[in-house]
Amino acid sequence: MNETCRLLKAHRSIRKFTGQTVPDAVVEEVLRCGQAAATSSNLQAVTVIRVRDAARREQLAALAGGQDYVASAGAFLVFCADLNRARLACESQGGTFCEDMTEHFILATVDVALAAQNCVVAAESLGLGVCYIGALRNAPQAVADLLDLPRLVYPVFGLCVGTPAQDPEVKPRLPLGAVLGEEVYPAAGMMAGIRTYDEEIRAYYRRRTGGTKDSCWSLEMKALVGREARPHMRGFLAGRGFGMK
């Protein structure tokens, strides 16, 4: 164990922030750390939009289903997968951008995730708290319009960053037996791992909510993957040049 491992394992999402704005120099350092992440073929398919305007922040909070920390965090960043920049470079050299490749979509989305998580770790190392906001994809076209996103750019998620005004407990994760395979897929340990985890997280939810939330991971997964999830995404992505060929 070292300081970095301790920091990584101390992560918990923060959903209450003091009103303190995150200084530009801090946001810029955090973003430089994001840029330092590995990136497929040096594609660097990430564009981050910092939203400061209060009215625009309120609109984004509403689009994200009324998550008020989108408006109240010390900084709000929208992480976009961006193939537009690569297109410009390609065309400047006489090339023709090949639209709608599934592989390009994966490259850009993975790039965003890696850069964002580097930002998260950097921010947390500076004593800040964060919360990803995937709910921007509830209304991705409205978000794209609000941020003037060109074709070949799509908002993957937002990130609230700021000084924490709460100190929640770290949320337990699945036991390694359910996520680590030796040589082959860990099928044997899977259900046992899920059951163990269900009980652990049930106890965590009870503690966190003073006994009012009585749920477990399997129930949450039923709600998550047991129904359609944002079925508008495919059409939205195709419309922006992220078809799936």
Ligand X SMILES: Cc1cc2nc3c(=O)[nH]c(=O)nc-3n(C[C@H](O)[C@H](O)[C@H](O)COP(=O)(O)O)c2cc1C
Q: Which CB, 117 or 141, lies closer to ligand X?
A: 117
* Shortest separation between residue 90's beta carbon and ligand X, angstroms: 29
In Å, what is the CA distance from 134 to each residue of 65, 77, 200, 243?
Answer: 11, 12, 25, 20
Residue with tokens 């477990």: 216
* Shortest separation between residue 175's beta carbon and ligand X, angstroms: 16
Name the one range near ligand X by CB under 6 A: 6-14, 16-24, 28-36, 44-52. 6-14
Q: Which CB, 171 or 230, lies closer to ligand X?
A: 171
171 is a contact residue toward ligand X (CB under 6 A): yes
11 is a contact residue toward ligand X (CB under 6 A): yes
Those residues whose C-beta lies under 8 Å from the C-beta of residue 7, and which sit 6 or more positions away, are 121, 124, 125
Distance CA 144, CA 78 (A): 10
- Could you say which of 39, 59, 67, 72 contacts ligand X (CB under 6 A)? 67
Name the one range near ligand X by CB under 6 A: 12-20, 29-37, 50-58, 194-202. 12-20
Distance CA 91, CA 94 (A): 5
63 is a contact residue toward ligand X (CB under 6 A): no
What x/- string results for residues 80 through 119 when contact with ligand X is judged by CB under 6 A? Answer: ----------------------------------------
Distance CA 201, CA 229 (A): 23
Total binding residues toward ligand X, as defined by CB under 6 A: 13
Cβ neighbours, 10 Å, residue 168: 13
Cβ neighbours, 10 Å, residue 47: 18
Those residues whose C-beta lies under 8 Å from the C-beta of residue 21, and which sit 6 or more positions away, are 74, 75
172 is a contact residue toward ligand X (CB under 6 A): no
- Could you say which of 97, 132, 204, 205 contacts ligand X (CB under 6 A)? 132
- Phi and psi (nearest 5°) for 106? -65, -45
* Shortest separation between residue 95's beta carbon and ligand X, angstroms: 32
Those residues whose C-beta lies under 8 Å from the C-beta of residue 189, and which sit 6 or more positions away, are 177, 178
* Shortest separation between residue 151's beta carbon and ligand X, angstroms: 23
Is residue 69 within 8 A of residue 130, CB to CB? The reply is no
- Could you say which of 4, 13, 102, 166 contacts ligand X (CB under 6 A)? 13
* Shortest separation between residue 93's beta carbon and ligand X, angstroms: 34
Residues at the contact surface with ligand X, assessed by CB under 6 A:
11-13, 15, 64, 67, 131-135, 157, 171
